[in-house]
Amino acid sequence: MTEKEPDSVAGDWSTEDAAEHYRVASWSDGFFHVNESGHMAVRPLEDQSLSIDIMDVVADLRQRGVKFPALLRFQDVLRARVRRLNHAFADAIKEAGYQSEYRSVYPIKVNQMHEVVEEVLDAGKPFGLGLECGSKTELIATLAHLVDDSTLLICNGVKDRSMLSLVLSSQLLGKNVIPVMEKYAEFEELISLADAADTATQFGIRVRLRTAGAGKWADSGGYQSKFGISLPELLQIVDTLKANQAEHRLTLLHFHLGSQISQIKQLKQAAKELAQIYAELINAGLPVRYIDVGGGLGVNYTGAFEEGGIQYSLQEYANAVVSAIKDVCDSRKVPHPVLISESGRAMTAHHSVLIVETLGAFRKDNAENELTVPTDAHRIVHNLNELLSWLRDPQAQDSGVAELIEAYHGVVEIHQEAATMFAMGFLPLQQNALIERMYWSSCSALLAKLRAADPDPVPRELLELQDLLVDQYLMDFSVFQSVLDHWAIQQPFPIVPLHRLDERPTRRALLVDLTCDSDGKITQYVSAKEDKKFLELHPLKPREPYCLGIFLMGAYQDIMGDAHNLFGRVSEAHVYGDASEEGNFWIEKLIPGTKVQDMLAQVQYFPNDLQRRMQDQIKEKIATGVIRPKRGMEILDQYTACFNDETYLINHRTAGLEEG
Ligand SMILES: *Cc1c(COP(=O)(O)O)cnc(C)c1O
């Protein structure tokens, strides 16, 4: 299938068309929409009447001198997602007549940002939400944030002696911390520490189930997983506990199938497998209280229902967990355990949007209509010119598809021949450049004609031309810092212009970033079909900013981003909705992006030393008369002033807007 050709005339395009084109309804979970001004807007509160125009937030930030790219956090969206998750489980429990309760715990590895964790904890207070940590540093961060003594802290990951003993100490303080045993040796260590400290510890076990997940993270569960305790080891632990009359110490059973669980039936299968183990342990006299089904509740980034995608709702997920465990417990006649899930992505993905500015657009079809080919030009230049003239001749309308494809093959052949001849020195640079321009123009004429012919089946050549002829839009950001999963696992994220959505987007674009890395680009776009390699955008207007929003950025992206080319963290703004404020919003907090000197310090360059080295060089130039002393010192000042810049570009398309 080819996408419908965006028409070059503006009219006949509405904001509804834009919403449909960018599939907003299918990925936004009701939080984002296109407003009457043709801007992207957010409805952050459950009360759908309040809408914030994202371009108003952008304008406000510009006025405050905030540099882009900038990450907006809509804290109300975060709160709403926490509530939706908990309500879904409450409804499932009520519906099924489940005799116990549900506790969500937030795995902070998804987004450890202090404000995010605090907001999640606050929104989750009415539901008794807890936290999950997976490393020593995360343990230190979370321990200080437990709301009260009943707040759960699930401590996953491989733990050393110092972590285990800190967990034991926090249990002594009366905190509800549950270390989950990943390895048998960890259990032995915990018990010996607990006995030495005379603590009646509680702990959980991550069980290595037979059921593996499906999708990209399938190896987080199942036999091949690097995590978890096997059934024979589990039985050994049970025997040890019984031999020491310490059955009460085992309070939780856990599995984690991996992120983005793609199939509900796998989840149900795993939940049932674990529930059977639970029932056996209960019957063997171990008073296990909690079943923890881990994370993996999926987020449908593309809104598509493709193979391996997320095809279930939040409610369906909750129903599946509750009913699978209830069924097993009822048939084994054991009490219903407290259910825990560690859903991270599903809580945080929706709340943040990365705002990126366009620095320039590069088109390929650039040969003017009235080309003059010098008479003494090489034969192949004339040949290509003839083909191009034929393609552009309105008299030669209605060429058949076969004829067009033949012409395309001819164009490709000449283009290749020109490259060979140029390399051998038979084609002057001027003529080679002319070939290049005529090549692109021929390709775009061919694409237009082939599309108009609407052939069925679609020839390979048409698809090839479509991919070939995209523009490049240079964006002021780094894929490696801000959209890491796109690079690492080709995750498509929804990307939408934040304005001009009442205008038909007539260009097809590939987004490229600032890094000097050919992987620094976005090659997968959200689409109804699986594989979309371009995004429809608007032609740039002179001196007018063109802003794109990259949506669903709240899970994993900021923290996993890296410092490729020493691009640092982007600016951040935390936005709340409020009907009594102008524009329906207020900004609680601004966090500036990383400065050049901070990025340099990470790799052991320090301002004093750099400045001294630069100064020595300039002094030498002054001494040898290369430069006048005053000018030399100005250059030194210019150099040192950059230490305080942010790492991204100052966009001259928009620079000065903050004053205007
Ligand atoms: C990563 C992880 C999670 C969070 O998974 P999501 O897919 O973000 O819900 C939960 N539990 C464990 C053990 C994890 O490793």
pLDDT of residue 660: 31
Supply 267's token pair.
Answer: 């989840």
Q: Which CATH number fits domain 98-341: 3.20.20.10, 3.30.300.30, 2.40.50.140, 3.30.460.10?
A: 3.20.20.10
Closest C-alpha residue for ligand 1 atom 10: 295
Q: What spacing in Å lies between the alpha carbon of 592 and ligand 1's midpoint?
A: 29
Q: What spacing in Å lies between the alpha carbon of 493 and ligand 1's midpoint?
A: 20
Q: What spacing in Å lies between the alpha carbon of 555 and ligand 1's midpoint?
A: 11
pLDDT of residue 396: 67
Q: What spacing in Å lies between the alpha carbon of 258 and ligand 1's midpoint?
A: 7
Q: Which residues pair with 105 in a beta bridge?
A: 130
Residue 621, classed as helix, strand or coil, is helix
Average pLDDT over every residue of 552-573: 92
pLDDT of residue 8: 47
CA angle 589, 136, 487 (to 5 degrees): 65
Measured CA to CA, the distance from residue 36 to residue 38 in angstroms comes to 5
pLDDT of residue 4: 45
Measured CA to CA, the distance from residue 162 to residue 137 in angstroms comes to 12
Residue with tokens 């140029």: 422
Q: What spacing in Å lies between the alpha carbon of 82 and ligand 1's midpoint?
A: 15
Q: What spacing in Å lies between the alpha carbon of 257 and ligand 1's midpoint?
A: 9
Q: What spacing in Å lies between the alpha carbon of 132 and ligand 1's midpoint?
A: 9
Residue to mutate, 109, 120, 301, 317, ligand 1, most ligand atoms under 8 Å from C-beta: 109
Average pLDDT over every residue of 181-198: 93
**Quick check: bond before 539 cis, omega within 30?**
no
| Span 289-315, pLDDT tens digits | 999 999 999 999 988 776 667 889 999
Q: What spacing in Å lies between the alpha carbon of 341 and ligand 1's midpoint?
A: 9
pLDDT of residue 659: 36
Residue to mutate, 82, 106, 110, 254, ligand 1, most ligand atoms under 8 Å from C-beta: 110
For the entire predicted model, the pTM comes to: 0.91
The average confidence (pLDDT) of the chain is 92
Measured CA to CA, the distance from residue 242 to residue 248 in angstroms comes to 9
Residue 15 DSSP symbol = H
Burial status of residue 475 (CB atoms within 10 A of its CB: 0-12, 13-18, 19 or more): buried
pLDDT of residue 394: 77
What string of DSSP letters covers 203-256?
Answer: EEEEB--S----STTGGGSSTT-SSSB-HHHHHHHHHHHHHTT-GGGEEEEE--
3-state SS, one letter per residue, for 71-109: EEEEHHHHHHHHHHHHHHHHHHHHHHCCCCCEEEEEEHH
| Span 250-287, pLDDT tens digits | 999 999 999 999 899 999 999 999 999 999 999 999 99
- Which fold would CATH assign to domain 1-96+351-358+475-500+521-593? Lyase, Ornithine Decarboxylase; Chain A, domain 1 (2.40.37)
CB 27 within 8 A of CB 301: yes
pLDDT of residue 658: 43
Task: Assign 220 a pLDDT band (cuts: 50, 70, 90).
Answer: confident
- Which atom of ligand 1 lies nearest, measured to the CA of 259? 7
- In the chain, the amino acid numbered 426 is F
| Span 67-123, pLDDT tens digits | 999 999 999 999 999 999 999 999 999 999 999 999 999 999 999 999 999 999 999
Ligand 1 binding residues, C-beta < 6 A: 107, 109-110, 134, 156, 256, 259, 294-297, 342-346
CA angle 520, 521, 525 (to 5 degrees): 150
Q: Is residue 1 over pLDDT 80?
A: no
Q: Which CATH number fits domain 379-468: 3.40.50.620, 1.20.1260.10, 2.60.40.10, 1.20.58.930?
A: 1.20.58.930
- Which atom of ligand 1 lies nearest, measured to the CA of 294? 11
- Which atom of ligand 1 lies nearest, measured to the CA of 109? 1
Supply 382's token pair.
Answer: 């004339």
Supply 327's token pair.
Answer: 């069924």
Share of the chain above pLDDT 90, in %: 80
pLDDT of residue 532: 86
- Which atom of ligand 1 lies nearest, measured to the CA of 343? 9
Share of the chain above pLDDT 70, in %: 94
